[in-house]
Amino acid sequence: MIHVPAFWHPNPSREQNVYVAFQTKLVIPVPELVTLHLFGCDVYRVYCGGKEIGEGPARFAERWPEYDVYALDLPEGEHTLTIVAHYYGVATRMTSNKLPPFVQVEAMDANGPISLSWICRELDAYLPMGRRVNGQLGWAEYCDVRLLPDWCEYGEGDSSARDDKWQPVAYKEPWNGREQPEYRSGNQVACRSIPMAADSIGSGLYVNRFGYEKDDPPVRFLLRDLQPTLSPDGIWYRFDFGKVGLYRPILDLKLPEGTKVETGYSEYLTDGRVIPVITYSASSSCHVDRWIAQSGRQTLSTYSPRGFRFLELHIEAPPNTIFVHEVAAVQKSYFATPSGRFNSSDPLLDRIWNVCVETLQSCSEDALTDTPTRERGQWLGDAVAVGMETLSVAYGDLNLIRRSLEQAALCRFDDGMIVGCYPGQIIPVSSYAMLWVAGCLRYFRLSGDKHFLQTHFAAANDVVDCYLSFLTEDGIAHFPHWDFVDWGHIVSKDKVNIALNVLTWKAIVDIADWADLLGEVALRKRRIEQKDHLEAIIRRKMTTSTGMLLPSIPIACIDEDHLHSEPGFHANVLALRFGLFRGEERRSAVELVKRHMMNCFPNLGDAPRLSHPAANNPQLITPYFGHFALAALLEERETSFVLDQFRTCWGWMLEQGATTLLEVFDHRWSHCHAWSACPSWQLSRYFLGFHASGDGDPLAFEFRLQTGDLNYASGTLPIIGTEHAVRISWFRNSEGIRYECESDQDILVYLPSDMPYHIVFIDDHVEVPSSGYFHTRGFRAILSDRLL
């Protein structure tokens, strides 16, 4: 694509928030398969013969743009190709906006490239409202439908009747003065368009009460009187789409010409109403779109999707002239129906599992995102921790994880730092950089993608060396970037952050294992020495008198007063989860973790709540950190405690009416956050019993089952990277646990020697060798022991 001409409108009316249409003719003498390669520096939608065939681009690192590929099976004749591009002119979570506006298109048939002649026009139907959705996203939309060309979005129209606004495109050299890019195909992350119906939950008349028409849109929307005593200005309707998602609303309306239409969106209702602003945006927000209607029946839709559950529609016209045929939406998501499932004797746990997966589906597009509403940001921690594990049990497709890990490496700093949010608005996060190393290795262990390990080995060593360059006799004393570990973890900059030291220790362990997998013997030896050195510092300087880890210590501390301070929740969770603790230390850590969790909301009703970011407090737990804490407890067979945490904490979310997961244990934050979904993978792995073996073979599993107080469970575990699955069911009877599994293909199962139960196979064909490994397409067994 580097040699494909780039073009844009020769003289657009503005430099930001501009919509431009491009059009050309494809003349096909015989039926032909035509391939399009298309790249735009900002969002676009492409049509052939008036039918939308795709949108893009996928988010990309600036030096590695991702073009889309479309295969068009065209009949003989003339075909119109149309692109509608929207240039934001501002940085968002998706794009850094460092490139000038341009589009590139290459068309090819069996004989090679097809010559195309492009014309363009600015779409003056899109009026500049002057308001962004918020500081992380693009622009609120204001469209006068009467000014749209008749081919735009809905059909071809008569191209011979084009007005004089069409003109030849201007060709440009967007990479002048920049390092030459390395183009790659982006079609592997194309989103689905999933039709979504809405429930009508209210309607009535309204009266405008605030300002001129162009005054602050969300304020004007919110201040309308929805129970008027004066003559009405219009009608309002309220709709519920059932869950938060990334939607393009579709409004099927019959209206008089010139009718003003507005939609406001929200994740939840406040005092029964849609409040069209986005909380914790760290900026002003405008969750409102506007149209001016043409006459008659028409379909109104936004160009870009919006994140919401509730939509409120305001139509300003005499009530007897308005007819609403349907309000619906198209959800944009990479994933559709999950191939994994989980059912048990506890309906609440089943609901929690499903809501976790629904949330993940809502937070998937060309990347796993934190939320479809506030940011649509690709945060590394969301992907490499909860996201990867949830995808492994719900879909078996780790493509977005691979892409996220790779883009993080492509966006890294010159000193080797792996960034935490990318590729648009770049935000480095120290803990996420360390989790990237662990995430790469975990991705290999789940998928077997050894080429990925080889490709990113140098980047992994660079980031580990970056942090080791700050190592002192007190440990790593000054982490150079945002030291976020979790809400509730509060360490001042003048102290040693012990949780981050544990994460660095874990990253060194992982890079040593990585080196071993690639046969780098000398490097592995050096990394083990570095691991032992940091571990010695942690044990000597960062523990309490009882052997537990502190949250922090003063830099260059010469007294031992800190040894009697309270231990830190986060550092001890990570040390327990990653194997830094041994023997009796593990039992002490288990009790510490349980005690802390039970002293926090929602376990303790009057405990502090994270009502807003500034309310950060050490007496907190979060859904995100349950990924580490609850998994650590499950490894210590604290089965009943973990199940009760699912029921109490995630059950509290469902009691609030949530149909997707809250960001934290407080309803004032985002209502759709995939980093809260750890119960899904923990239920599927521990309570169905099949864990990934860890050797990089997707067909190999370690058998470790926990049951707690459940009487039965069943489910499906996808086999990573395939269309196959393992189906599992078990139930409790007088003999113990009757366990059955069936696979679509041969799998390798390992029975650990330290299993806390007896297993008796009731299939004649299963022969377990002394090593504990056996191949099977399924087995039936009786498990018996009190520890189940």
Domain ranges of the chain: 6-124+165-188, 192-333, 341-558+568-686, 691-784
Instruction: Outline where DSSP puts E strands in 491-543.
Output: 495-497
Residue 155: predicted pLDDT = 39
CA distance 37 to 514: 37
6-124+165-188 and 192-333 in the same fold: yes
Confidence check: pLDDT of 763 > 90: no
Confidence check: pLDDT of 787 > 50: yes
Confidence check: pLDDT of 192 > 90: yes
Confidence check: pLDDT of 154 > 50: no
Give the relative orientation of helices 399-410 and 450-468 as an angle to the nearest 10 degrees: 40
Residue 378's nearest CA partner among 336, 334, 343, 317 is 334
- As a whole number, the mean pLDDT across the chain is 94
Q: Which amino acid is at 193?
A: S
Confidence check: pLDDT of 257 > 70: yes
Q: What is the mean pLDDT of residues 251-255?
A: 98
Residue 165: predicted pLDDT = 87
Q: What is the mean pLDDT of residues 228-253?
A: 97
Confidence check: pLDDT of 644 > 70: yes
Residue 2: predicted pLDDT = 87
Residue 764: predicted pLDDT = 64
Q: How confident is the model at residue 78 (pLDDT cuts 50, 70, 90)?
A: very high
Q: What is the mean pLDDT of residues 328-335?
A: 98
Say which residues have a Cβ less than 8 Å from residue 445's Cβ, sequence separation at least 6. Answer: 692, 693, 694, 695, 696
Say which residues have a Cβ less than 8 Å from residue 263's Cβ, sequence separation at least 6. Answer: 249, 251, 288, 289, 302, 311, 312, 313, 314
Residue 433: predicted pLDDT = 96
Q: What is the mean pLDDT of residues 70-79?
A: 94
Confidence check: pLDDT of 120 > 50: yes
Q: What is the mean pLDDT of residues 369-385?
A: 96
Longest CA–CA separation in the chain, Å: 86
427-437 pLDDT, tens digit per residue, is: 999 999 999 99
The third-level CATH classification (topology) of the domain covering 6-124+165-188 is Jelly Rolls (2.60.120)
Q: How confident is the model at residue 256 (pLDDT cuts 50, 70, 90)?
A: very high
At 603, is the secondary structure helix, strand, or coil? coil
Residue 45's nearest CA partner among 14, 87, 5, 86 is 86
Q: How confident is the model at residue 493 (pLDDT cuts 50, 70, 90)?
A: confident
Q: How confident is the model at residue 345 (pLDDT cuts 50, 70, 90)?
A: very high
Q: What is the mean pLDDT of residues 342-357?
A: 98
Report CA Rg, the chain: 28
Residues in the chain, overall count = 788
Q: What is the mean pLDDT of residues 208-230?
A: 93
Residue 186: predicted pLDDT = 75
Residue 149: predicted pLDDT = 86
Least confident of 80-84, 149-153, 511-515, 606-610: 149-153
Q: What is the mean pLDDT of residues 39-63?
A: 93
Confidence check: pLDDT of 156 > 70: no
Confidence check: pLDDT of 153 > 50: no
Q: How confident is the model at residue 159 (pLDDT cuts 50, 70, 90)?
A: very low
What pTM did the predictor assign?
A: 0.96
Q: How confident is the model at residue 157 (pLDDT cuts 50, 70, 90)?
A: very low
Q: What is the CATH number of domain 341-558+568-686?
A: 1.50.10.10
DSSP code string of 385-445: IIIHHHHHHHT---HHHHHHHHHHHHT--TT-PPPSEESSS-B-BHHHHHHHHHHHHHHHH
Residue 765: predicted pLDDT = 72
Residue 177: predicted pLDDT = 82
Query: Environment class of residue 520 by beta-carbon count within 10 Å: exposed (0-12), middle (13-18) or buried (19+)?
Result: middle
Contact of 661 with 268, CB cutoff 8 Å: no
Question: Would strands 142-144 and 288-292 be described as parallel, antiparallel, or unpaired?
Answer: parallel
At 572, is the secondary structure helix, strand, or coil? helix
Q: What is the mean pLDDT of residues 590-596?
A: 98
Report whether CATH 2.60.120.260 matches the domain 192-333: yes
Confidence check: pLDDT of 20 > 80: yes
Percent above pLDDT 90 for the chain: 88
Domain 691-784: CATH architecture, name and number where available: Sandwich (2.60)
Residue 185: predicted pLDDT = 86
At 310, is the secondary structure helix, strand, or coil? strand
